Chain A
């Protein structure tokens, strides 16, 4: 049935590969989490958090490690959707919405367009030594530091609060009216800048394109 639909073989592979990955990692994890919830070790919201967190981290790892650029872009989408789920857990539906719309929709789409237009196939071949080991060392130290730092802090025992939609709008458009306008201008400038940047006058095109 699937073969009748004229899809590229690559797409096929993604579906199958993704399914196997989700199945191999997601199903045992889900079982473990459900069991933990059932025995009362963790609460239900915590379970949701962990699921989302796993999606986020796996997606992020995929995004930074996968050699295929399209795979990386799709992993990024997974991460962003996971983050949106986390926002819901944090009781901010509006931001979750925005996250999915802007990121999951706009930004990723934009990135994919970029991929297509730059004909970028894979992570380019390293020319003179990778700084990956240094980056790894540095990042591990940094994450370690951050975690030590935040764990050493005394946060009390706060609880999450719902953000009232009306209040949020009130604040956004009254107190933060000026920043909003500035951001609007910024967006405008960014778009104009992007246009100007990408637009090539006929005389400064590279020679091959003539």
Chain B
């Protein structure tokens, strides 16, 4: 192993995005000629990524000793992409890769979930139109995502950032024949783009202050106090705006539920496990700087808290199985941002990892259900555990992880976040967050009960249902395993086993390495709240649809508020229709009437009118013209006279 790691290591990190790019190019151009439209190329690409990731982890350990991380020179692979130089002036955009523990967490999540999703998709997408194109875009997405997490330069990170946005756009709009899918893709792209305005501004502001796009240089400059605090706060908040857009935080969360129009495996990969945590990655990457600008950190904390709560409450009433999961994703991302907001980067990244596994599992499970029944409204499902035992089992494992039941992965990471919050922020934050965890348990229980238990409510769909093929169940089982055990990584012993002494704390929280430990008092509180949630959910929904409908009538107003997502979509649509399009209408009117018809055509008409009046001087009578000539002679001779 060490021998190979000399040849393939962090220096070769560029291989990570390169392999799927090659797969993307080959599939998109030659998919008609390839067997199975080239899906195997995408899988081979993912396998290659997993392999390279393993090599990189091995290589990475060589720079991790004495409880410190020593990146050294080996970490960066760079060439000049853009270079403008003059006397004592240099404008440089480099391509460089930078791998550290945060990147590695992301790499693990992307490579494992990506591989699972690719394998799963061969079953799920079987026989669909644009089968090969789907795999091409999937490869493109993975390439962009890997570039995003390995890039050492902000510009290239932005490039990848937009690249994942593009892939997300293409995959949400994969079924573009449906107008709703086209609209959802548009909404996702525009909404994230609004956030990206902030990101780009932040990048340029940071460049202006430091003269560099290199992330480590910027962090070094910012933490050493070279940049004014207000300026830095503005820049970091601008960066956070990008994260808000990409990670679907309030107020830009509206695109993620709609994004469920895309193929379910793509949702699992992009809108649950990887792309949406890019924002978390970005903030985590800049966490040393956020240590300096505490105002920005508070903004992150409360944004995350608000998002977590709102999304969880919306998830309570959503009827579409994928939308419930989407709201859950938004909520869990809120948890991660809360963790970042209190400075617990390790907890946040840990949650990224476990969330990637169990949420991907849940999405793939829901995909299996949709694949089998063709329905995705929970009101019409039910009792599916008899038809789809493997799906049901793995889905329940994922749900337990999401709900935060002990042993399962979600419990450990969520507990870490709650623990971190309790020691860094006010009790209010802790209470809201614990309440949100309770809500999470409730809606998760509801989802599981309505889907897999009780009586089937749509008989034809139920009869039609069957267990999915092994290409789909295998990834489910693997992810189920990971969703169960990946939480154990938190223990020092497990960390040591993998070569990271001190567990994940050492892996991701470089500056203040401390080992994770379980405070059983907090853990029991968390467990009790989760179990309470499960019990409440059981009481309400265990019997099937009738109680569910009763639950709806408990408070119709509140229900309507939640179903309509706090009317935020309507608000935004109203703003777009009234304000933006109204303004556009005014400007278009201004251009048409004032600039064009008054300014340009009006000018032409004025000259035309002037000419029209003037033309009557042309009487056509020769004596009149002769009189004019004579008058001219008179003027000339008077001028001569005046001179003489």
Contact = CB atoms under 8 A, between A and B. Distances in A.
Interface residues of B, number: 12
* Chief secondary structure at chain B's binding surface: helix
A44 B117 CA distance: 131
B630 A142 contact: yes
B634 A149 contact: no
A153 B623 CA distance: 32
A138 B644 contact: no
B633 interface: yes
* Chief secondary structure at chain A's binding surface: helix
Interface stretch (B415-423, B468-476, B635-643): B635-643
A142 B633 contact: yes
A90 B637 CA distance: 26
A131 B627 contact: yes
Nearest to A146: B637
A152 B623 contact: no
Interface in B594-644: 623-624, 627, 630-631, 633-634, 637-638, 640-641, 644
Contact of A145 (B623, B624, B641): B641
Given A145-B641, A148-B641, A138 B624 contact: no
A142 to B, nearest CB: 5
B634 A141 contact: yes
B295 to A, nearest CB: 86
B382 to A, nearest CB: 101
A153 B627 contact: no
B641 A138 contact: no
Contacts of B640: 149
Nearest to A138: B630
B344 to A, nearest CB: 100
Contacts of A131: 623-624, 627
A84 B291 CA distance: 116
Interface string A109-139: 0000000000000000000000100110011
B42 to A, nearest CB: 86
A178 B110 CA distance: 100
Contact of B644 (A135, A139, A142, A152): A152
Given A131-B624, A135-B627, A153 B644 contact: yes
A149 B630 contact: no
Contacts of A145: 634, 637-638, 641
Contacts of A142: 630, 633-634, 637
B627 A149 contact: no
A149 B631 contact: no
Nearest to B638: A145
A138 B624 CA distance: 13
A36 B24 CA distance: 122
Contacts of B630: 135, 138-139, 142
Contacts of A153: 644
B644 A134 contact: no
A125 to B, nearest CB: 15
A139 B641 CA distance: 16
Interface string A135-161: 100110110011011001100000000
Nearest to B640: A149
Interface string B502-517: 0000000000000000
A139 B624 CA distance: 14
Nearest to B624: A131
A149 B623 contact: no
Interface string B73-111: 000000000000000000000000000000000000000
Nearest to A127: B621
Contacts of A134: 627
A138 B633 CA distance: 10
A163 B637 CA distance: 31
Interface string B531-542: 000000000000
Nearest to B619: A128
Contacts of A139: 630
Interface in A144-193: 145-146, 148-149, 152-153
A3 to B, nearest CB: 43
Interface in A81-96: none
A152 B634 CA distance: 17
Most chain B CB inside 10 Å of its own CB: which residue of A131, A145, A146: A145
Contacts of B644: 149, 152-153
A178 B74 CA distance: 97
Contacts of B638: 145
A138 B637 contact: no
Interface string B414-434: 000000000000000000000
A144 to B, nearest CB: 10
A153 B641 CA distance: 10
Nearest to A148: B641
A80 B638 CA distance: 29
Interface in B442-460: none
A138 B623 contact: no
A170 B624 CA distance: 44
A191 B641 CA distance: 40
Interface of B: 623-624, 627, 630-631, 633-634, 637-638, 640-641, 644
Interface of A: 131, 134-135, 138-139, 141-142, 145-146, 148-149, 152-153
Given A138-B627, A138-B630, A145-B637, 5 more contacts: A138-B634, A139-B630, A142-B634, A149-B637, A149-B644
29 contacts: A131-B623, A131-B624, A131-B627, A134-B627, A135-B627, A135-B630, A138-B627, A138-B630, A138-B631, A138-B634, A139-B630, A141-B634, A142-B630, A142-B633, A142-B634, A142-B637, A145-B634, A145-B637, A145-B638, A145-B641, A146-B637, A148-B641, A149-B637, A149-B640, A149-B641, A149-B644, A152-B641, A152-B644, A153-B644
The 3 A-B pairs with the shortest beta carbon distances in the complex, nearest first, are A145-B637, A142-B634, A149-B641
